[in-house]
Structure 1
Amino acid sequence: MQKEKRINSANKRAMTQIKVSVIIPVYNAEEFLADCIQSLISQTLEECEFIFVNDGSTDSSQQIIKQFQEKDHRIILINQENVGRSAARNIGIIDATGRYIGFVDSDDFVLEEMFENLYNRATEFDTDIVISNYFLGRDDKYIIKNAIFPVNILYDQNFIQKNVIPNLLEREDLFAVWNKIYKRELIISHSIVFPNEYEEDQMFNLWVFNTVSNVLFIDYAGYFYREVFNGVSKNIFKIDYFGIARQKLHVDYKKRYNLTIPYGEFEKLKAIRFIQKVFYLLFKYATAEISFSDKLKKIQIMVFDPEVNMLSKKYHKDILKNQGIFEALVLKIIKNKSVAGLYLLVLAVKLTYHPKTSEIIRNLNNFKFKKT
């Protein structure tokens, strides 16, 4: 009965020529949800629909959505048992009727002209994907994250294969789905979905970008991404992130998504990404609120892992490209298996790190490492 109601609702909305369907997965998001919803219903592009998929929330999220739904008919609420963000987004894709699809996380917010700007550029260039800049909320302030490729150029599939796909394999620059809008017809016709796996955004984008005809980067930022940790620093050891990263290292995305990139390059880019994850996890573990001895044991297992050592030696020149002082030190410790060096580095991070000084650390780290 609920499925039939959703189909009837979708057919009715399709008659109103929705331009952008915005999908918002929600799970226990009561703290920031009202801000998110208010920013959406304030959009200057009126021909939007906002599909909230309540993924089994146990807080007041459902009630908050219902309160706003009474004020704005464009809000669609879908309730389901808790099955995860990927499944929630996939339900939203099925229900969407817009010409383009966008995604917003429930603890983020957007400027009122966000979707009008993206939609206008999409129709102007008749492009499959529009990618915008965004604001990253970190340490109580926002910094702008600009496009990694020149803007206002319609890039074809040849450019995507040579530049975008390799970037998706190697770095996180293009992982996010929430600073983009995608042509719905393309997603539906190729049955593109979010896999129920870690870093599902990356895999969704690998699939989409390998399928589209063209993409457009624009010089506009309207999305505000909040880094909400919810105790992640304290609970980071409850999930084996290193094990997950190692598992992803051995997934054959080339075969799964029919990528054209040569296997040698494919394996190298995945290895670089894996070692970058080690850099990140080392820093997160070092700053976690647990005993020094416990964090050091965890870090040693990861840093002195034989596969980490082998890949660091094999691809060390490629790994250090565009990296900073911290990464250079970690790589040296890995290659030399230096227990003393690791001890001193972890101790230094523990003693010097504080959220208020993290921006200084990041700026210092921008002095890129150059081999002499």
Structure 2
Amino acid sequence: MDIKVSVIVPVYNVENYLKQAISSVINQTLKEIEIICVNDGSTDSSKAILDEYQKSDDRIIVVNKSNKGYGAACNTGLKLARGKYVAILESDDFIDAEMYENLYSLAQSYDADMVKSAFYEFSDGIGSSKINWSEQYTMPDKVFKLEEYPQFLYFHPSIWSCIYKTEFLRKNKITFKEVKGAGWVDNPFQVQTLCLAEKICYTDTPFYNYRLTNPSSSSNIVNISNPFDRSDEVHAFLEKKQIRNHGILANLYKREIGYINKVLSGVSDNLFDFACKKITDMIARMDSDIIFTHSQLNDYEKYVYKSCKSYNGIGSLMRQIQENCESIKIVSC
């Protein structure tokens, strides 16, 4: 079979959601796919579920390995991928049946390095709601490069609402950072793919259902260092590639200021000094001219930037944020 899309499914202790995820892949209208399920040392019934599915569909490949984290599991899948394009499905999510047929058709039409779609946020007991980027931003209707639509770096990384040309990833040596747990490794992967792609396609039609109601979701801040460490890696990549486009940087700054808000909304008292050091280092790297002159940064974000110039300013900002939201304590670094 000529494999068009290799679907990588990193799996770790998702017995409550795994059947829905795998069923949504095997029922794709695009049949020329392989499904690479990387069981990252699950201790629940995930392995048994994968074994059952593998018996019924010879497109499914199951790799069992010791627990090394989301990034290592994805890298295992990338090494094995034989398809012209690669996709990632997180094993607590699910996709509409036409997703890969539609994205692959776009990829073929434009010989795209990557194709990205809108997506749904899904909550158990409530259902799906489309992320409407197009209501706030002018979105591309043709092949583009990131410099033309840099807002994609402000959006949720959503690396799973895409397909990537396998040759493009390998040529540019794009892989995942390997750290413990999920580790926010989607951030540098997203930045590298978007920055290095010569041909990007976007469709405003959503296909991917991103589950918000899994308490173990990879988007939660479990370790306070994660957003800052990944930011360090992103900027090291930009410096290495000499990428200094103001639109790209402004949108990254906007997202990083959002991460500062998220950390300060829930940081525990014993980690405040540690958080302050991470925040001041992040702020010090930002170009103040871009912060204060680029239209992408709003007044509140400029206020956060100024507040985070000092220890006292960060403390005052934290109190303001926590007074206005229900905080979830972050207890690990």
Give TM-score, length-normalised by structure 1. Answer: 0.71
1:259 deviation in Å? 3.9
| Partner Cα distance (2:65, 2:97) in 1 | 29
Check the 8 A contact 2:10/2:39 in 1, yes or no: yes
* Structure 2, gaps ≥5 residues long: 329-333
Kept in 1: contact 2:120–2:131 (CA 8 A): yes
Could you say which residue in structure 2 is the equivalent of 1:277?
Answer: 259
Report if the CA contact (8 A) 1:24-1:53 is conserved.
yes
Does the Cα contact within 8 Å between 1:151 and 1:219 map onto a contact in 2?
Answer: no
Which deviates more, 118-127 or 298-307?
298-307
Q: CA deviation at 1:101?
A: 0.6
**Cα distance in 1, alignment partners of residues 204 and 152 from structure 2:** 19
Match of 1:153 among 128, 142, 164: 142
Aligned to 1:34: 19
Distance 2:59 2:65 in 1: 20
Give the SS at the match of 2:203: strand
Displacement of 1:207 in angstroms is 2.4
Within-5 A mapping of 1:1-372: 16-138=1-123, 141=126, 142-147=128-133, 149-155=138-144, 159-161=145-147, 163-164=149-150, 167-168=152-153, 171=154, 173=155, 175-197=157-179, 198-230=183-215, 239-241=223-225, 245=228, 248-249=231-232, 251-256=235-240, 258-261=241-244, 271-285=253-267, 295=268, 302=275, 314=288, 317=292, 321=296, 337=312, 343=319, 346-350=322-326
Q: Is the 8 A contact 1:149 1:217 kept in 2?
A: no
1:272–1:319: 8 Å Cα contact kept in structure 2? no
Structure 1 stretches lacking a partner, 5+ long: 1-15, 286-294, 355-372
TM-superposed CA distance for 1:274, in Å, is 3.4
Q: Percent of aligned positions with the same letter in both sequences?
A: 27
Larger radius of gyration: 1
Contact persistence 1:246–1:274 (CA under 8 A) = no
Higher relative contact order (CA 8 A, sep 6+): 2
Q: CA deviation at 1:223?
A: 0.2
User: Quick check: 1:249–1:271 contact (8 Å CA) kept in 2?
Assistant: no
CA distance in 1, matches of 2:101, 2:230: 40
Tell me the SS of whatever aligns to 1:49.
strand
> In structure 2, what is the Cα distance between the partners aligned to 1:220 and 1:63?
34
Kindly provide the amino acid, as one letter, of the partner of residue 59 in structure 1.
D
**41 and 303 in structure 1: CA distance in 2 versus 1, 3 angstrom threshold:** same
What is the TM-score normalised by the length of structure 2? Answer: 0.78
Tell me, in whole angstroms, the C-alpha distance in 1 between the residues paired with 2:230 and 2:176: 18
Contact 1:86 1:196 in 2 (8 A): yes
RMSD: 3.6
**Aligned amino acid, residue 152 of structure 1:** D
Pair 1:246–1:274, CA change in 2 (3 A): farther
**Structure 1 residue 314: Cα displacement:** 4.5
Partner secondary structure for residue 349 of structure 1? coil
Secondary structure of the structure 2 residue equivalent to 1:210: helix
What is the CA distance between 1:221 and its match in structure 2? Answer: 0.6
- Which residue identity lines up with residue 349 of structure 1 in the other structure? C
For 1:282 and 1:254, the matched residues in 2 are separated by 26
Instruction: Give SS of 2:259's match.
Output: helix
CA displacement 1:255-274 (0-9 Å, x = unmatched)? 34x14326x88776655443
| Contact 2:224/2:263 (8 A) holds in 1 | no
Give distance in 2, aligned partners of 1:160 and 1:348. Answer: 35
Cα distance in 2 for residues equivalent to 1:174 and 1:341: 24
C-alpha distance in 1, partners of 2:146/2:108? 20
1:35-63 CA-partner distances (Å, limit 9, x unpaired): 10111111111111111011111111111
In 2: Cα distance, 1:278 partner to 1:103 partner: 28
Q: 1:332 offset after TM fit, Å? A: 7.9
SS at 1:253 equivalent: helix
Structure-2 change in CA distance of 1:58 and 1:19 (3 Å): same
- Distance verdict in 2 for CA 1:302–1:94, change over 3 Å: closer
1:56-115 deviation per Cα after TM superposition (whole angstroms, max 9, x unaligned)? 111111110111111111111011111111111111111111111111000000011111
Instruction: Determine the C-alpha separation between the residues in 1 that align with 2:122 and 2:194.
Output: 27
Residue by residue over 1:277-336, the C-alpha shift from the partner in whole angstroms, topping out at 9 and shown as x without a partner, is: 111222345xxxxxxxxx4665687469655787899576469956597x6886786579
Change (3 A) 1:332 1:206: closer
Amino acid corresponding to residue 180 of structure 1 in structure 2:
C
2:294 and 2:228 map into 1 onto residues whose CA distance is 16
CA separation of 1:259/1:160 partners in 2, compared to 1, >3 Å: closer, same or farther? farther
User: 2 CA distance for matches of 1:268 and 1:30?
Assistant: 40
Asked whether the 8 Å contact 1:278–1:303 carries over to 2, the reply is: no
